[in-house]
Amino acid sequence: MKFELTKQYIEELQEQIETGQIDLILEIINALHPADIADVLENLDPSQAKSIYELLDDEKAAEALMELDDDYRTDFLKLFSSLEIAEQVDQLNTDDAADLLGELEDSDQAEVIAQMEDQDHASEIIDLLRYDEDSAGGLMQTEYIIARENWQVRRCVVEMRRQAEEVEKVYSIYVVDSDDRLLGILSLRRLLFAEPTTLIREMYKNERIHYVKTNDSKASVAEIMEKYDLVAVPVVDFQNKLVGRITIDDVVDVIREEAERDFQMASGISENVESNSSILKNTRSRLPWILIGLAGGILSSQIIKGYEGTLEIIPTLAFFIPLIASTAGNIGVQSSAIVVQGLASNDFQMKGILRRVGKEALVGMVVGLICAVIIYIVGYFFSDDIHLAVTLALSLFLVALFAAALGTFIPLALDRIKIDPALATGPFITTANDIIGLSIYFIVAYIVYF
Amino acid sequence: MKFELTKQYIEELQEQIETGQIDLILEIINALHPADIADVLENLDPSQAKSIYELLDDEKAAEALMELDDDYRTDFLKLFSSLEIAEQVDQLNTDDAADLLGELEDSDQAEVIAQMEDQDHASEIIDLLRYDEDSAGGLMQTEYIIARENWQVRRCVVEMRRQAEEVEKVYSIYVVDSDDRLLGILSLRRLLFAEPTTLIREMYKNERIHYVKTNDSKASVAEIMEKYDLVAVPVVDFQNKLVGRITIDDVVDVIREEAERDFQMASGISENVESNSSILKNTRSRLPWILIGLAGGILSSQIIKGYEGTLEIIPTLAFFIPLIASTAGNIGVQSSAIVVQGLASNDFQMKGILRRVGKEALVGMVVGLICAVIIYIVGYFFSDDIHLAVTLALSLFLVALFAAALGTFIPLALDRIKIDPALATGPFITTANDIIGLSIYFIVAYIVYF
């Protein structure tokens, strides 16, 4: 039931392109969903992809274009003239059209808009382009269905039929007053079951209605839609006038992107990169954190150098440097991951920083205690040196405690001063904890031995 | 527009509970959405929560129950008799009811089912309980609207009105034949605009319809709904008979859970844990990877011990142990994160392991080269020891190369043998790369110096 793209499929298609079997290609490709067509195109080189693309129905072509991977689309569009792009934009919903135009250079953007056929459509898209792409305004489309409160159901259905031509998916109808202010939301189901002469005013839900404002962040749009299980949410401007609608499919993308971004940040990747991004982009996204890690490593080397004397007397201490550093890093990363996820899902609404750090420190103590006991036994057998065993056990316990506390405190503190807490996870926490862990280790060793 | 839960709100409510101002509470709380009611309840202690819960309308109460955090719900339900729970289950949709019953002990489950009022509902729920909770069958509900292909639109609307009473959200109508086999999907919009005498057979979409099978994994359900922008998907059994429907709100939860799980795994957390989980659960979920890291640390110590002689002659080498180990870890984690995300979003459909590993190794080489140049300069000024600078630069380059290749290879290989690749990220990769990195470092040092 899912379309499976195979190597064989692509090879056959390539052969059909080369031998010019247009009819066969047309039949195959037009039966596919735009998302599947996009998968096919991405596996062809751009010029072959274009020759297939031009065979598609207008609407399907435009939809497939939006399903392409961003990077591929950028390259692909370079093969098109601005008039050809304008023809695609004419077919798209306003939200997709604005996204597509937003990806173009400013000069190309203006050229494409000037060549669009439907100038009403064009001016709606220009309106949308003014919004920040990370806001509700940047996500919304201007295709939605409205009803006036003084209409009867009969009139509403007639008007809907007119409006529905350009609205691809109708989930509900937004009831507005004569100034376009949002009054209520009406489900299609209720309309279907209503008497033709009932007034809309008597039908729309009197409950708290869920809507967002144009300048709400896309994260908060996702939060509301997820919390209240909405498939579409109306967007109003600062005067409460209805200006757009956001559908769940766009928000699902937001949810996935945010989760992926947190994961990438925690893994020390600073720029959104995909497995098929170029080597340059891939390197650029990775280098900043690696260099910070490198600086941390150099700092660590200075700390160890500071204890050169101790190391000369007890060279065995050097063996356990990676153990201390990696345990500190691992525990810190765990703590910060839990905090970052908690912040992302808004679990902390009413809890203070100190209480949270205290709890994580307690967990760190428990984990540290278990590690300390194990390493004490290992250290004892490893060297017969009771001092080494005590040093390892004691410093591991302290390291776990500090690493957990720091791993909790840093993201919470960053969040409090409105910096993205995900920045703190991964390499940053690891590096900070490496340094603190090693300092603890050598101080403890000094105290135990001398 | 979003309900904001404040400390003040909770305190006022607690006072109202204590002074028995039932009417006031009722008015406030019944105006809230079930998801908001759940937030309020979670911030009260269970006995207070129960006294409010009992004031709620039946349906709202049941819905709020399902919006509670899993851990809280488990504790909360302990305050209820099996008859009270049965009353809640009677109000729930089949999918939620099955989820709730699935959380109970087997003996409690049977008791609750026996006391349900609506035995048809009960038997549907029992059917659902047979499915694996990670499959489409475990996600689906049996509430959906069907139409027969030989009905007229008029009859369809009448039948829908009857069926729609128990279907909370109607997105589309599933057309089935006399054996309940799924034939097509009809949107509400088309029904609303159709002539009353049109036959359903002439209306349903002739295109490829999107459906899933009961034993499909929930990840593949999410993939299909996300790819094709569906708000609901029908579920069929192995005979193609329609048996259920999955709505996007449940799938949004799946998408978030999967993304969070990958992030947690990459951070070395082995069991789903939230910021408000107990200290015991928190510790238990973190200990496995910390202990694996500890074992890796002990192994590292043995490797360094193997080069004790070298270290005695060139003690400066010890200073850079954390630098080598942490860079190896950081680069490996980045590579594996990119691969895990690529696998999760199915980017690799047709690319071989070797090609992927080769590309990542190339990125590792570029990153490694940049690090090598930097560390060569630092090392040179740090000690005036050209041997040290060469050792650091050369081993950092090799470490970056190996770490990137290994970070790519391990998750791809795990995926090939059907083990969750996310397992490989985080502490595992870090530990493996620590060990390999240190070995490279000391071997290079040996070659350079002697």
CB contact under 8 A, A255 and B252: yes
CB contact under 8 A, A318 and B323: no
| B288: closest chain A residue by CA | A367
Local structure of B184: helix, strand or coil:
strand
Gyration radius from chain A CA atoms:
30
Per-residue pLDDT averaged across B198-211, rounded?
A: 81
What pLDDT sits at residue A437?
93
Cα(B342)–Cα(B345) distance, rounded to whole angstroms?
5
**Chain B, 7-66: which have a CB under 8 Å from a chain A CB?**
7, 10, 31-33, 35, 39, 43
Burial class from Cβ neighbours inside 10 Å (0-12, 13-18, 19+) for residue A185 reads buried
CB contact under 8 A, B323 and A300: yes
CA A16, A22, A23, A26 torsion: positive or negative? positive
Q: Which amino acid is at A35?
A: A
- Whether the pLDDT of residue A201 is over 80: the answer is yes
Alpha helix (H) residue ranges in A43-81: 46-53, 58-67, 70-77
**Residue pointed to by tokens 């959906």:** B144
What pLDDT sits at residue A205?
62
Tens digits of residue pLDDT in A231-287:
999 999 999 999 999 999 989 988 888 878 878 887 888 777 776 778 888 888 888
**Residue pointed to by tokens 């776990």:** A400
Tens digits of residue pLDDT in B67-109:
998 878 888 998 999 999 999 999 899 999 999 998 888 888 8
| A255: closest chain B residue by CA | B256
Query: Which superfamily, per CATH, for B279-449?
Result: SLC41 divalent cation transporters, integral membrane domain (1.10.357.20)
CA A83, A88, A92, A97 torsion: positive or negative? negative
Most confident listed range (A61-65, A421-425, B18-22, B348-352): A61-65
In degrees and rounded to multiples of 5, residue B256 shows phi and psi of: -65, -45
The CATH topology of domain A146-247 is CBS-domain (3.10.580)
Tens digits of residue pLDDT in B411-447:
888 888 888 787 767 777 888 888 999 999 999 999 9
CB contact under 8 A, B290 and A367: yes
- Whether the pLDDT of residue B223 is over 80: the answer is yes
Q: Which two tokens stand for residue B25?
A: 């509470």
Contact A311/A438 with Cβ under 8 angstroms?
Answer: no
Tens digits of residue pLDDT in A205-232:
666 789 999 999 998 999 899 989 999 9
Q: How confident is the model at residue A396 (pLDDT cuts 50, 70, 90)?
A: very high
Cβ of residue B377 closer than 8 Å to a chain A Cβ:
no
What pLDDT sits at residue A348?
56
Cβ of residue A6 closer than 8 Å to a chain B Cβ:
yes
Contact B183/B149 with Cβ under 8 angstroms?
Answer: yes
**Residue pointed to by tokens 């998801």:** B35
What pLDDT sits at residue B213?
95
What pLDDT sits at residue B257?
83
In degrees and rounded to multiples of 5, residue B348 shows phi and psi of: -100, 15
Chain B residues within 8 A of A5 when measuring between CB atoms: 349-350
Domain ranges for chain A, please list them: 7-135, 146-247, 279-449
What pLDDT sits at residue B324?
92
The CATH topology of domain B7-132 is MgtE N-terminal fold (1.25.60)
Alpha carbon dihedral B405, B409, B411, B412, in 10-degree steps, equals 130
Which CATH class name applies to A7-135? mainly alpha
**Chain B, 186-205: which have a CB under 8 Å from a chain A CB?**
187-189, 191-193
Cα(A428)–Cα(A437) distance, rounded to whole angstroms?
14
Cβ of residue B298 closer than 8 Å to a chain A Cβ:
yes
In degrees and rounded to multiples of 5, residue A117 shows phi and psi of: -80, -45
Local structure of A130: helix, strand or coil:
coil
Cβ of residue B312 closer than 8 Å to a chain A Cβ:
yes
CB contact under 8 A, B434 and A326: yes
Contact B341/A274 with Cβ under 8 angstroms?
Answer: yes
Q: Could you report the predicted ipTM of this complex, rounded to two decimals? A: 0.81
Strands of the sheet with A172-176, listed across from one edge: A146-148, A172-176, A182-187
What pLDDT sits at residue B16?
83
Q: What is the largest CA-CA distance in chain B?
A: 96
In degrees and rounded to multiples of 5, residue A182 shows phi and psi of: -70, 125
Selected residue with higher pLDDT from B425 and B122? B122
- Whether the pLDDT of residue A27 is over 90: the answer is no
What's the helix, strand, coil split of chain A in %, to 5? 65, 10, 25
Tens digits of residue pLDDT in B15-57:
888 887 888 888 878 788 899 899 888 888 888 888 889 888 8
Cα(B251)–Cα(B230) distance, rounded to whole angstroms?
10
CA triplet A231, A237, A241: central angle to 5 degrees? 85
Q: For a pLDDT cut of 90, what percent of chain B falls above it?
A: 32
Query: What's the half-sphere exposure (Cβ side, CA atoms, 13 Å) at A350?
Result: 13
Q: Which two tokens stand for residue A198?
A: 């009932």
Q: How confident is the model at residue A399 (pLDDT cuts 50, 70, 90)?
A: very high
Chain B: give the shortest CA distance to residue A114, in Å.
31
Select the residue of A7, A262, A375 nearest B350 (Cβ to Cβ).
A7
CB contact under 8 A, B263 and A341: yes
Chain A residues within 8 A of B408 when measuring between CB atoms: none
**Residue pointed to by tokens 């003690």:** B315
Per-residue pLDDT averaged across B189-218, rounded?
A: 84
CATH 1.25.40.10 fits B146-255, yes or no: no
